[in-house]
Amino acid sequence: MSLQLRAGLAWATPIHPVTLLNHLDAYMKALPDLHSLRLCWKFGKGEDVHITRLPVEIEQAIEHLLLQSRRTSQVANCFYITGWYNRELEFACFESTCEPSAHCDDMSPIMYSLEHEEPERCEVCKETDSNGCHEIFFHADRCLKRCSTAIGACSACQVSLAAVGCECTCHAIYEDLIERFKPEEGYWTHQYNQENWCKRIELAQDTSRTESDKLKRGDLKVGHSQILRKYFGLDIHLAHTTLDSRSDSWPKYRNDKYHKDELRKTTLCYLTLPKRLGATSSHEKKDETDPTSVQAARAMKVDPASLVIIEEKQRRFGRAMKILRLKVFLHGSQNLGSTISADVSAPRSVGAGGQGSGQGDECLQWPQLLLLVEGS
């Protein structure tokens, strides 16, 4: 057994990985329209070319509408294309937060058999069914079966009365019924989605591809890193991590009960300035009496000039967040409540603290200087 270790400093902002890749896809598809718009605005000629007279604020507003239209159209068609929907489902499987129904095709034998054992739905869920909504069990906040008080509530609602976690809704009961069947096809679909997500992450960071590698339906070979570097001057940092057994900060989900035997893991995602991480070191296991223990230690010299970020580089983050419509997302496992320091007697900088919430840390001013550590 060996441990591959890599670490380095980076000015970074945490982002949800699925959101970043999806919105980069929309930006890449909109690039031809954006290029045409900018060329007409800057170099258009002729008496009837009025676009050149528009102020820059109006031209940028048109760009925003183009990108918004592209994102909206892809979300509306997520069930008819393989890109966005598959990516979200694959990440859910990788994190082991997916539902049993996510692994069953509507035409599978199990879905036919469930028609005869399907539990009685409340009036609200029946109403959504009659309206032609395919996701009839996803209206947990309106379901009449959900717990309304902590008295006599399910185990999830005894902790929090958030409707999405309630185990008594029509949706939750339906998922429990599918789990009881445990179809073999679901296992293999789950494994495939996990493997495919790892491939997506590997290819998203591939810097050897060019813009000629166009986004195609179902194509994983998309130059996300190149687009982000070329048009925003930033990099993507993606890294997998597993549950820290000594920490209780890992987010909890209602679907955890379906994955008790699985290793909990997630993918961390950061927008960073172009950086230079330390070289990867490999540490071999020598103690055969403990098959899980690998000892590793190393030291690296830090470039002092990289400890300060200039205003121009800080604006790159704001521009990318605005154009790509991104929000800060800090996974609950990444507790930033304490900081490391090379001099404990030095005065603490403003905005150096904060508590990771899993929904984005509003206490911190991003980007922050982070020490990124990877081990595999």
The amino acid sitting at 45 is K
H or E segment and range at residue 311: helix 311-323
319-350 pLDDT per residue, tens: 999 999 999 998 887 876 667 777 777 766 65
H or E segment and range at residue 187: helix 184-204
Examine residue 152 and state whether it is found in any structural domain, yes or no: yes
Q: What is the chain's mean pLDDT, rounded?
A: 75
- Say if residue 335 is in the same domain as residue 276: yes
Which of 161, 182, 203 delimits the end of a domain?
182
Q: How far apart are CA 73 and CA 66, in angstroms?
A: 11
Examine residue 277 and state whether it is found in any structural domain, yes or no: yes
- Say if residue 227 is in the same domain as residue 149: no
- Print burial letters for 133-148: b (CB count within 10 Å at least 16), e (below 16): eeebbbbbeebebbbe
- Say if residue 276 is in the same domain as residue 357: yes
* Torsion on CA atoms 166, 171, 177, 178, rounded to nearest 10: -120
- Say if residue 174 is in the same domain as residue 238: no
The reported pLDDT for the residue numbered 79 is 46
CA atoms within 13 A on the CB side of 203: 15
Which of 133, 159, 182 delimits the end of a domain?
182
178-187 pLDDT per residue, tens: 777 766 667 7
Tally the domains of the chain.
Answer: 2
Examine residue 274 and state whether it is found in any structural domain, yes or no: yes
From first to last of the 376 residues of the chain, give the pLDDT tens digit. Answer: 566 777 888 999 999 999 998 899 889 888 888 888 888 888 888 777 888 888 888 888 888 888 888 877 765 555 444 455 688 889 999 998 888 878 776 545 555 555 556 667 777 776 655 444 444 445 667 778 878 766 677 777 776 655 557 778 777 877 787 777 766 667 788 888 899 999 888 888 776 655 444 444 344 445 788 889 999 999 999 999 888 767 677 777 778 887 888 888 899 999 999 887 766 666 666 655 555 566 677 787 888 888 889 999 999 999 999 999 999 998 887 876 667 777 777 766 655 443 333 444 445 689 999 988 887 7
- Say if residue 264 is in the same domain as residue 116: no
- Say if residue 260 is in the same domain as residue 331: yes
- Say if residue 123 is in the same domain as residue 239: no
Examine residue 97 and state whether it is found in any structural domain, yes or no: no
Nearest to 255 by CA among 320, 357, 178, 194: 178
Q: Report the predicted TM-score, pTM, of the whole model to 2 decimal places.
A: 0.78
Examine residue 2 and state whether it is found in any structural domain, yes or no: yes
Nearest to 370 by CA among 249, 295, 296, 268: 268
Which of 182, 203, 231 delimits the end of a domain?
182
Residue 291 φ/ψ region, left for φ over 0, alpha for ψ in the -120 to 50 degree band, beta for the rest: alpha
Examine residue 32 and state whether it is found in any structural domain, yes or no: no
- Say if residue 244 is in the same domain as residue 139: no
Examine residue 324 and state whether it is found in any structural domain, yes or no: yes
- Say if residue 177 is in the same domain as residue 255: no
Q: How far apart are CA 37 and CA 24, in angstroms?
A: 19
236-248 pLDDT per residue, tens: 999 998 887 676 7
- Say if residue 233 is in the same domain as residue 304: yes
H or E segment and range at residue 42: helix 17-43
The reported pLDDT for the residue numbered 357 is 39
The reported pLDDT for the residue numbered 208 is 63
- Say if residue 257 is in the same domain as residue 168: no
The reported pLDDT for the residue numbered 358 is 41
The reported pLDDT for the residue numbered 322 is 92
Examine residue 236 and state whether it is found in any structural domain, yes or no: yes
- Domain extent, residue 174, equals 105-182
- Say if residue 164 is in the same domain as residue 234: no
